[in-house]
Amino acid sequence: MDLTVEHAYKVGRFLGWYYGQKTPGERCRVVIGKDTRRSSYMFEYSLVSGLTASGADVFLLHVTTTPSVSYVVRTEGFHCGIMISASHNPYYDNGIKVINERGEKLEESVITKIEQYLDGEMEEIPLAKRDAIGRTVDFAAGRNRYIGYLISIATRSFKNMKVALDCANGSASAIAKNVFDALGAQTFVMNNEPNGLNINTDCGSTHIEYLQKFVVEQGCDAGFAYDGDADRCIAVDSEGNVVDGDRILYICGKYMKEQGSLFSNTVVTTIMSNFGLYKAFDREGISYEKTAVGDKYVYENMAATGNCLGGEQSGHIIFSKHATTGDGILTSLKVMEVVLEKKQSLAKLASEVEIYPQVLKNVRVKDKNAAQEDEKVQEEVRRVTEALGTDGRILLRSSGTEPVVRVMVEAADMETCEKYVDQVIAVMKDQAFAFNTKRLIVMYMKNCCRGAICFPVISVIQEPGKGEMD
């Protein structure tokens, strides 16, 4: 649904009432942070109105990061936290992220109740009256405490290190440079002048090419790019090579194993992590678990198993010793720790992972579950798996939002990837699951970088159309 100020007001009304009911006799306390989008201020005021009308006291962190809200909730005894952000999306999008009293993403059961209230399926919530009405408190001090916490995590001074930071004109603009400056780095910052309209626009972790160029031009030892709410981080080495979430997991996982701090000798990944990462883990004797795509599922695994390191290729990295969410600035500090402690360049550390070429084709189907589970389709998948052996993998995954099955193959070369993906799609078509289609090809470069081999990832969206697929 399209988020409106009325929705925000009602979310505030519900959360103030819900957490107030959970702690009878105690004033409900909620902390709010926001990113730099123009609409974030509007939604903040609406949420505050709803929360205070339900009797909650609201503490404002102002412009800050998603992980800082989580940290403040955990350490300051708040009943819940709210982050107003649409993460890496354009400025005209926005959203409300709710964090529970443990600093974790809100439980699905509570989300369902919020939806029921928004849909008018619950009785109206009573308004607070007289001295029961909530108040609003400026809590910029909470953000400053988070900055201090980040600084305390570093194991060494960053003196004589030249570091570039791409703040995506978002939440990191108010925090990242302060942290690196305090640790002694020579800090070069780009995209840290938000105006409400430029968040994530040709900058940040989704447009890493600009940081690649900047790092090389400035002669930096490393660069780090964040997204709009700074819960993800993509790195760049001194040669301009991209160090994505998979490589960061490897670098930090190997170091933590050497230090004896990698619980169960296991790293949590998603099913979309590159095959090359798993080959590198196997070589180093590091175990791994695979979850569904989404940092939510990564954290759920970590919380259930005690695993202390997990994340996604996109740069959502969770260090459970320090945080309950992905934290882009924390991730950059942990990468710097490995560089300094091992006295090796980021380029050298990242070079130990060979990223495999990948072809991904999104096939629009009539029934995604039936298409994926069909006996003949599965038989073809087994044949491809046997043919690839230990030198690649095939993955079928249904879209969560569209009638689409994603067919992905990673192998030693692009030709092999393309061949096996097409074989599986042909079976889907023969079984009448896939539409007769026209082909729309979107090509982009995976790990595009200076002085390195670039492997294209081909995404093919099968759209309904006349004639055969070309």
Same domain flag for 134 and 82: yes
Which among 80, 112, 142 is the end of a domain?
142
Same domain flag for 336 and 402: no
Half-sphere exposure of 109 (CA within 13 A, CB side): 2
Which among 142, 170, 203 is the end of a domain?
142
The boundaries of the domain holding residue 34 are: 5-142
CB contact set of 264 (below 8 Å; sequence gap of 6+): 287, 305, 306, 307
Identify the CATH number of the domain in which residue 257 sits: 3.40.120.10
Same domain flag for 258 and 333: yes
CA distance 40 to 5: 10
Same domain flag for 187 and 314: yes
Give the closest residue to 184 by CA, choosing from 135, 221, 141: 221
Same domain flag for 378 and 324: no
Which among 350, 374, 403 is the end of a domain?
350
CA distance 275 to 310: 16
Residue 258 lies in a domain: yes
Query: Quick one: pLDDT at residue 470?
Result: 31
Identify the CATH number of the domain in which residue 416 sits: 3.30.310.50
Can you give the pTM of this predicted structure? 0.88
Query: Quick one: pLDDT at residue 402?
Result: 80
Residue 469 lies in a domain: no
Query: Quick one: pLDDT at residue 435?
Result: 62
CA distance 252 to 243: 12
Per-residue confidence of the chain (470 residues) as pLDDT tens digits?
A: 689 999 999 999 999 999 999 988 899 999 999 999 999 999 999 999 999 999 999 999 999 999 999 999 999 999 999 999 999 999 999 999 999 999 999 999 999 999 999 999 999 999 999 999 999 999 999 999 999 999 999 999 999 999 999 999 999 998 999 999 999 999 999 999 999 999 999 999 999 999 999 999 999 999 999 999 999 999 999 999 999 999 999 999 999 999 999 999 999 999 999 999 999 999 999 999 999 988 999 999 999 999 999 999 999 999 999 999 999 999 999 999 999 999 999 999 999 999 999 999 999 888 888 989 899 999 999 999 999 998 899 999 888 778 899 999 999 999 999 999 999 999 998 887 776 443 333 333 333 333 333 333 444 433 333 333 33
Neighbour tally for 29: CB within 10 Å = 23
Same domain flag for 343 and 213: yes
Same domain flag for 109 and 212: no
Same domain flag for 180 and 315: yes
- Active-site residue 345, yes or no? no
Residue 242 lies in a domain: yes
Same domain flag for 198 and 329: yes
Helix (H) or strand (E) holding 331: helix 328-342
What is the SS3 assignment for 293?
A: coil
Query: Quick one: pLDDT at residue 301?
Result: 96
Q: Write down the catalytic residue from 46, 49, 54, 87.
A: 87
Residue 110 lies in a domain: yes
Same domain flag for 54 and 135: yes
State in Å, rounded, how far the first CA of the chain is from the last one. Answer: 36
Residue 114 lies in a domain: yes
Residue 317 lies in a domain: yes
Query: In a 10 Å sphere around its CB, with 0-12 CB exposed, 13-18 middle and 19+ buried, how is residue 290 labelled?
Result: middle
CA distance 33 to 31: 7
Same domain flag for 15 and 105: yes
Residue 223 lies in a domain: yes
Residue 314 lies in a domain: yes
Neighbour tally for 27: CB within 10 Å = 13
Indicate the residue type of 398: S
Give the number of domains in the chain: 3
Same domain flag for 284 and 389: no
